[in-house]
């Protein structure tokens, strides 16, 4: 091996931290993405390094192909985290030997979630490595979030060099390793500074090798950049087994945990938490938790029956339409795509004859949640119309349909699940697409299911019938 080493020349190349563009020389500005001062140097692997690495990946032994039905399928025992929301998102617990990445904006609660998990996994030995906080800081946080006595044997250490982390691992022999965060880690085998693409990639690969060889699952924290992607071009997402994303508005207490990639489970599951003074709590009744308990009937509010992953969630859409003070009307959407709102406004203008072109329109999704489910369209359109004509929508009405460009009300996925949940929460009426309702057994529910085909018809139903202003 040493002969190989001495024979092959050590070469280095440079590549852009932002977009991954490669170059043989250092450049001040990236020709591909235009970013300044974004090039990092990386040493190309020698043949010897490569041989060592491939030996490490397969655990030193030569692998051989097996017939699929001879492979034992007895799934290795998953480690329950003691937090049912996290277990649900992971697909039923942590799979031994897996590498899990938890991403999220700074301050959203990643360290809190993992420390809380580390303290609650019963009967396991956990090593919590932090590159961001000292042991004292971790202890102070643990004291704040801990109510029940420790269920786990949790060791903490403040460390950033992966080789030294491995030494600690040998001493402690944990069943689960937590690393907070990958951007602060560095390995001695790469020369660039911590947080650079080559460091992140190499450190992630080292943790992956460790996880696969030892069977100890590793949970990594990863920061998200301003643009919303995980810092470092997608390099980590390919290596790891699961990518979880923690999101929410820092000004509100609610946090959603989504799974963006999961080799051992479905990505349709979400977990819902609430940040409190003493750590994160699981939300017990997630479908209705965002609905405000109001009695007075206000115009501009409509409730959408949306699905987050596989879970129904009822969301309050609030809208304010007023005459534009300045020449150009303002449009603002919180929690929803602004272009989608513009499209809906154009449909309302063209198909229903509302002169919204000269009005300011503000839209807000209550609770600081971002919704991408198209089923929210109908609630948005109705909230805008309700504010425009200043007639409230009765509070026990909800909406679940997409709106098309010709003003037609279109079907959405899993309608029956939404109707069942609306029924359970005690709604009186749900507005859905005419084309959707045929497959639903309407007699099973107490809720009245209204299925108009175009938005103009719906408008007549809600705002021009004699009841709304006097209804409860
Ligand atoms: P943190 O977990 O440090 O976020 P991240 O690791 O994602 O950067 O904590 C996020 C915020 O949560 C922090 O600003 C303070 C707040 N917080 C609480 O409200 N209650 C608590 O019990 C804890 C530990 C933190
Ligand atoms: Mg943190």
DSSP 118-133: HHHSTT-EEEEEESSS
Judged against a pLDDT cut of 70, whether residue 56 lies above it is answered with: no
Q: Which residues contact 259 (CB under 8 A, 6 or more apart)?
A: 89, 90, 91, 242, 243, 244, 245, 265, 266, 267, 269, 270, 309
Tokens of 318: 């609030």
Ligand closest to Cα of 105 equals: 1
Tell me whether strands 429-431 and 397-399 are parallel, antiparallel or unpaired.
parallel
280 lines ligand 1 (CB under 6 A): no
- The pTM is what? 0.76
Which residue's CA is the closest to the ligand 1 atom numbered 9? 109
Name the β-bridge partners of 176. 126
Host H or E run for residue 429: strand 429-431
- Alpha carbons 411 and 434: distance in angstroms, whole number: 8
- Alpha carbons 391 and 369: distance in angstroms, whole number: 26
Tokens of 271: 């977990």
pLDDT at site 2: 45
143 lines ligand 1 (CB under 6 A): no
- pLDDT classification of 288: cutoffs 50, 70, 90: confident
Q: How does pLDDT run across 211-233, given as a tens digit for each residue?
A: 999 999 999 999 876 665 665 55
How many other C-beta atoms can be found within 10 angstroms of the C-beta atom of residue 469? 12
Atom of ligand 1 nearest to the CA of 221: 6
Taking all residues of the chain, what is their mean pLDDT, rounded to a whole number?
85
pLDDT at site 438: 83
pLDDT at site 405: 93
pLDDT at site 232: 56
Atom of ligand 1 nearest to the CA of 115: 2
Tokens of 216: 């100890």
Tell me whether strands 22-23 and 12-16 are parallel, antiparallel or unpaired.
antiparallel
Judged against a pLDDT cut of 70, whether residue 263 lies above it is answered with: yes
Tokens of 68: 């699929």
108 lines ligand 1 (CB under 6 A): yes
- Looking at 48-57, 426-435, 454-463, which range is the least confident one? 48-57
Q: What is the mean pLDDT of residues 271-284?
A: 87
Q: What is the mean pLDDT of residues 298-308?
A: 91
Ligand 1 pocket mutation pick from 102, 104, 106, 112 by most atoms within 8 angstroms of CB? 112
Which residue's CA is the closest to the ligand 1 atom numbered 8? 107
Q: 145 vs 317, which has greater pLDDT? A: 317
Q: What is the mean pLDDT of residues 427-446?
A: 88
H helix intervals, 290-376: 338-352
Judged against a pLDDT cut of 90, whether residue 362 lies above it is answered with: yes
How many other C-beta atoms can be found within 10 angstroms of the C-beta atom of residue 337? 13
| Ligand 2 geometric centre to CA of 109 (Å) | 7
pLDDT at site 57: 53
Tokens of 74: 């007895």
pLDDT at site 309: 79
Nearest to 428, CA basis, from 411, 452, 445, 440: 445
pLDDT at site 7: 45
């Amino acid at each position: 091996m040493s002969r190989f080493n001495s024979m092959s020349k050590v070469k280095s190349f440079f590549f852009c931290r932002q977009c991954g563009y490669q170059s043989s020389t250092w450049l001040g500005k990236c020709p591909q993405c235009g970013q300044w001062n974004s090039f990092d140097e990386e040493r190309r692997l020698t043949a010897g390094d490569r041989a060592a690495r491939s030996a490490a990946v397969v655990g030193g032994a030569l692998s051989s192909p097996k017939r699929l039905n001879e492979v034992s399928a007895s799934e290795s025992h998953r480690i329950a985290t003691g937090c049912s929301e996290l277990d649900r998102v992971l697909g039923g617990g942590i799979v031994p030997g897996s590498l899990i990445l938890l991403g999220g904006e700074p301050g959203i609660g990643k360290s809190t979630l993992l420390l809380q998990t580390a303290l609650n996994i019963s009967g396991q030995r956990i090593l919590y490595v932090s590159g961001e906080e000292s042991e004292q800081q971790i202890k102070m946080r643990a004291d704040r979030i801990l109510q029940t006595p420790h269920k786990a044997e949790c060791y903490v250490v403040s460390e950033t060099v992966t080789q030294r982390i491995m030494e600690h691992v040998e001493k402690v022999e944990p069943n689960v390793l937590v690393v907070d965060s990958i951007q602060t880690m560095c390995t001695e085998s790469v020369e660039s500074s911590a947080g650079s693409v080559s460091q992140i990639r190499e450190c992630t690969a080292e943790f992956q090798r460790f996880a696969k060889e030892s069977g100890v699952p590793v949970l990594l924290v990863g920061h998200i950049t301003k643009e919303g992607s995980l810092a470092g071009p997608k390099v980590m997402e390919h290596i790891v087994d699961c990518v979880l994303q923690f999101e929410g508005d820092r000004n509100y207490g609610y946090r959603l945990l989504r799974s963006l990639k999961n080799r051992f489970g479905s990505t349709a599951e979400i977990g819902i938490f609430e940040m409190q003074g003493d750590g994160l709590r699981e939300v017990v009744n997630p479908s209705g938790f965002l609905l405000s308990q109001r009695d007075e009937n206000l115009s501009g509010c409509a409730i959408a029956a949306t699905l987050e992953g596989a879970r129904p969630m009822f969301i309050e859409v609030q809208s304010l339409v007023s005459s534009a003070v300045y020449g150009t009307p303002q449009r603002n959407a919180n929690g929803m795509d602004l272009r989608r709102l513009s499209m809906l406004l154009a449909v309302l203008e063209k198909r229903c004859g509302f002169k919204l072109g000269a009005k300011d329109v503000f839209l807000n999704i209550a609770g600081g949640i971002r919704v991408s489910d198209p089923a929210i369209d109908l609630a948005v359109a109705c909230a805008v119309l309700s504010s425009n004509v200043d007639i409230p929508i009765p509070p026990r009405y909800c909406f679940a349909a997409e709106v098309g460009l010709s003003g037609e009300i279109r079907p959405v996925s899993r309608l029956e699940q939404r109707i069942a949940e609306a029924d359970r929460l005690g709604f009186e009426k749900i507005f859905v697409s005419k084309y959707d309702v045929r497959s639903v057994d309407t007699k099973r529910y107490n809720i009245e299911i209204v299925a108009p085909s175009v938005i103009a018809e719906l408008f007549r139903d809600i705002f021009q019938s004699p009841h709304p202003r006097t209804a409860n």
